[in-house]
């Protein structure tokens, strides 16, 4: 292990997970840097978080994933980069990867993971496509670029899963005292970790040669429990038995499919930006190595022109 | 080209895009098969679609991506597999890939694409993570398995983009007659295709050696238009000029970020299924080749047990 404390940059530090990493790093005595967007400073909640960081001696760097130069400059100041960007920004981490390559000094990169292992999960849709595919793509990009990494698999956050006793409809903020709904038979073993503990392990791992190019699983034996076991722990604490309803796997799968899934407005708008602002459909040459054009191949197909299509409405 | 018409299986045939493929295939005289889930048959709209397929002579096969054997059996009957599964099932196509490998007879696979080229797009989040990453992952899986493929890049659907003249808030079903909002300067060139035309090109391409292991771009010259040009076509048709408001790229990007993005209930529930029913956090061995466990590496860290964590609520 390094005798001097590694300098750590957290990207996404004002988010739910990032906050714990910044605080954990600063409290462990590591010189700590947080990349913060201008927009976050004008946000009341995030502004308060940033003030808390400053009180802990954290260096705030104003920057953005979109601003390559500021990113490279921030990265050049540190040894370790921890990304905690949110779900819908996962693939923007390719910009961090590019900046790390250019900076050339980073000894360890921790991409944003902080859940179940994306290479080991059997998760069904929609989460496989909407969450885990991006995490896998970033893992493969990190490996392809030869960037030294550690993947953090902390499994379930206690603040989300233990506080609620896994009751989400509606989501409880403290465990129920009368009844509880249990997924399946409730015997699958699950891992729960308190947010501050996760940060403590992460900060230990960032300059540990034993975690280089490895996945760090945070699986404390005492916290590897089935849902049934967790419910029993709670029942013992309150000295009362809860009414239990089991929801079968078949029913869980049906419920997932029953949720409506319209294209969210923000997805549609980002596609429109790509198409109507950037011109992504037409701004490249169709090289015969990879592509062919349909109207050239099949000139006899009579297609409907936009002009004719519009006629039906005129 | 084949002298006998290729036999075509459409997976996802009751969906928005799939319907056109099934109908296009049947109308072109190809022996056509549609894999339909039991659940689709009890759905009124989809039930009607399936009846329409039968009227066209389409063979309905009852099956499901989850049922590997039925999938292999269906695939063994055909030469070509066209997948039109929806956005949130994109990665489930790995099950189609496995079945195609096992069946061993498929001459061409068309994974579900039907939009902008995912390898060429500069799309910003959230659509990059939530749509295009999955399409890229499936492309790479198809290539890694050596399955003969054609990727279909049809760019914009006319029924969605031309009918609305790209007005989505609220979404119009016919072009506006008074005012129109234009993305950016409105000069980026975009490609629009009518759904039936797309199907016609696709059915031509499925057994064409010129499209083997290539991307088929459907870019008709007459339909490669900027938004400004499309608006002008419409103005000429109705003999009236529209009031135009341009929305700057900066504003588009700000609007994308301004949309709320809570974790949708169906994503959360599919994660819960993986964790609490399948036990994905604990059902594999942490092999030292890829992983290490935190409490073993750092036994001095005093972590909070679930039991202690629950005490705060008791």
Cα A18 from Cα A15, distance rounded (Å)? 5
**Closest Cα of chain B to A88: distance in Å?**
5
Which token pair is B198?
A: 């797309």
Among the partner-chain residues A91, A158, A256, the one whose CB lies closest to the CB of B269 is A256
- Chosen for mutation from A17, A124, A201 (greatest number of chain B CBs closer than 10 Å) is A124
pLDDT score recorded for residue A66: 85
Residues 6+ apart with CB under 8 A from A61: A9, A33, A34, A35, A36, A70, A74, A77
In the A/B pair of chains, how many CB contacts fall below 8 A?
Answer: 436
Q: Enumerate the residues of chain A whose CB falls inside 8 A of the CB of residue B139.
A: none
Per-residue pLDDT of chain A (314 residues; tens, 9 = 90+): 446 899 999 999 988 899 999 999 999 999 999 999 877 777 777 788 899 999 999 999 998 888 999 999 999 999 999 999 988 789 889 999 999 999 999 999 999 999 999 998 888 877 888 889 999 999 999 999 999 999 999 999 998 889 899 887 777 888 999 999 998 898 888 999 999 999 999 999 999 999 999 999 998 888 898 999 999 999 998 999 999 999 888 888 887 777 665 566 677 677 777 777 777 778 888 888 888 888 888 888 787 778 887 788 67
What domains can you pick out in chain B, each with its CATH number? 8-155+191-223 (3.40.50.720)
Both tokens of B267, joined, read 């994503």
With beta carbons less than 8 A apart as the criterion, state whether B214 and A290 touch.
yes
A114: left (phi over 0), alpha (psi -120 to 50) or beta: left
Task: Give the chain B residue nearest A210 (alpha carbons).
Answer: B292
Residue showing tokens 């900027």: B226
Cβ contact (<8 Å) for B277 and A116? no
* Beta-carbon separation of A272 and B166 below 8 A: yes
Choose the catalytic residue: B27, B135, B179, B244.
B135
**Cis peptide leading into residue B170 (ω within 30°):** yes
Between these two residues, A48 and B99, which has the higher pLDDT value?
B99
What confidence score (pLDDT) does residue B59 get?
Answer: 97
Sorted by sequence, the CB contacts under 8 Å of residue A166 that are 6+ apart come out as A183, A227, A230, B272, B276
In angstroms, the first-to-last Cα distance of chain B is 73
Chosen for mutation from A64, A187, A281 (greatest number of chain B CBs closer than 10 Å) is A281
Closest CA to A22 of A2, A42, A40: A40
Whether residue A214 is preceded by a cis peptide bond, meaning omega within 30 degrees of 0, is no
Nearest chain B CA: its distance from A2 CA (Å): 16
Residue B275 is given by DSSP the state: I
Q: Is the pLDDT of residue B252 over 90?
A: no
Predicted pLDDT at A260: 60
Query: How far is residue A129's CA from residue A260's CA, in Å, rounded to a whole number?
Result: 16
Nearest to B168 among A238, A268, A310 (CB): A268
- Within 10 A of B279 (CB to CB), how many other CB atoms are there? 17
Q: How far apart are CA B256 and CA B260, in angstroms?
A: 9
Chain B contact set for A261 (CB, 8 A): 86-88, 264, 266
Q: Search chain A and give the residue with CA nearest B220.
A: A295
B281 closest CB neighbour out of A155, A282, A283: A155
Q: Which residue has the higher pLDDT, A20 or B295?
A: A20
Q: Give the count of beta carbons closer than 10 Å to the beta carbon of residue A237.
A: 14
- The long-range contacts involving B159-164, CB below 8 angstroms and separated by at least 24 positions, are B159/B194, B159/B195, B161/B190, B161/B192, B162/A306, B162/A309, B162/A310, B162/B192, B162/B230, B163/A313
pTM: 0.67
Cβ atoms of A41 and A24 closer than 8 Å: no
Q: Nearest 5 degrees, angle CA B138-CA B140-CA B143? A: 110
**Closest Cα in chain A to B215:** A291
Range scoring the smallest mean pLDDT among A286-295, B148-157, B226-235: A286-295
Q: Is pLDDT of B247 > 80?
A: yes
Report the 10 Å Cβ neighbour count for B147. 19
The string of DSSP codes covering B91-133 is: GGHHHHHHHHHHH---SEEE-S--SS-TTT--PPTTHIIIIIH
Residues of A annotated as catalytic (active site), given as ranges:
135
Smallest Cα distance from A104 to chain B, Å: 24
Nearest neighbour of A265 by CB, restricted to B117, B120, B259: B259
What is the pLDDT at residue B254?
82
Q: A6: alpha, beta or left, given left = phi > 0 and alpha = psi -120 to 50?
A: beta
* φ, ψ dihedrals at B42, nearest 5°: -85, -10
pLDDT digits (tens, 9 = 90+) for B184-217: 888 888 999 999 999 999 999 999 999 999 999 9
Dump pLDDT digits (tens) for B275-287. Answer: 777 777 788 888 8
DSSP 3-state assignment of B81? Answer: strand
The complex scores an ipTM of 0.72
């Amino acid at each position: 292990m390094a005798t001097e404390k590694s300098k750590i940059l957290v990207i996404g530090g004002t988010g739910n997970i990032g906050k714990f990493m910044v605080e954990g790093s600063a409290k462990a005595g590591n010189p700590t840097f947080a990349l913060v967007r201008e927009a976050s400073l004008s946000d009341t909640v995030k502004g308060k978080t940033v003030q808390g960081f400053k009180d802990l001696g954290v260096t705030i760097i104003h920057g953005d994933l979109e601003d390559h130069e500021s990113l490279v400059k921030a990265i050049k100041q540190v040894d370790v980069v921890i990304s905690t960007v949110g779900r819908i920004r996962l693939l923007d981490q390719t910009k961090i990867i590019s900046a790390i390559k250019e900076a050339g000094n980073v000894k360890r990169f921790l991409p944003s993971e902080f859940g179940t292992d994306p290479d080991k999960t059997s998760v069904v849709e929609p989460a496989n496509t909407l969450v885990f595919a991006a995490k896998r793509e970033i893992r493969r990009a990190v490996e392809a670029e030869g960037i030294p990494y550690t993947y953090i698999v902390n499994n379930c956050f206690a603040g989300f899963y233990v506080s609620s006793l896994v009751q989400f409809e509606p989501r409880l903020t403290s465990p129920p005292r009368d009844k509880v709904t249990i997924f399946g038979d409730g015997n699958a073993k699950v891992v729960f970790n308190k947010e501050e503990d996760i940060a403590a392990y992460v900060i230990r791992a960032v300059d540990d040669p034993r975690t280089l190019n490895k996945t760090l699983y945070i699986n404390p034996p005492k916290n590897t429990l089935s849902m049934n076991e967790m419910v029993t722990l709670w029942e013992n604490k309150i000295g009362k038995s809860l009414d239990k309803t089991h929801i079968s796997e078949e029913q869980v799968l049906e419920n997932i499919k029953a949720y409506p899934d319209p294209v969210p407005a923000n997805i549609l708008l980002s596609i429109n930006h790509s198409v109507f602002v950037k011109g992504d459909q037409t701004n490249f040459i169709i090289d015969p190595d990879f592509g062919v054009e349909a109207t050239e191949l099949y000139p006899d197909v009579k297609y409907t022109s936009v002009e004719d299509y519009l006629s039906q409405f005129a």
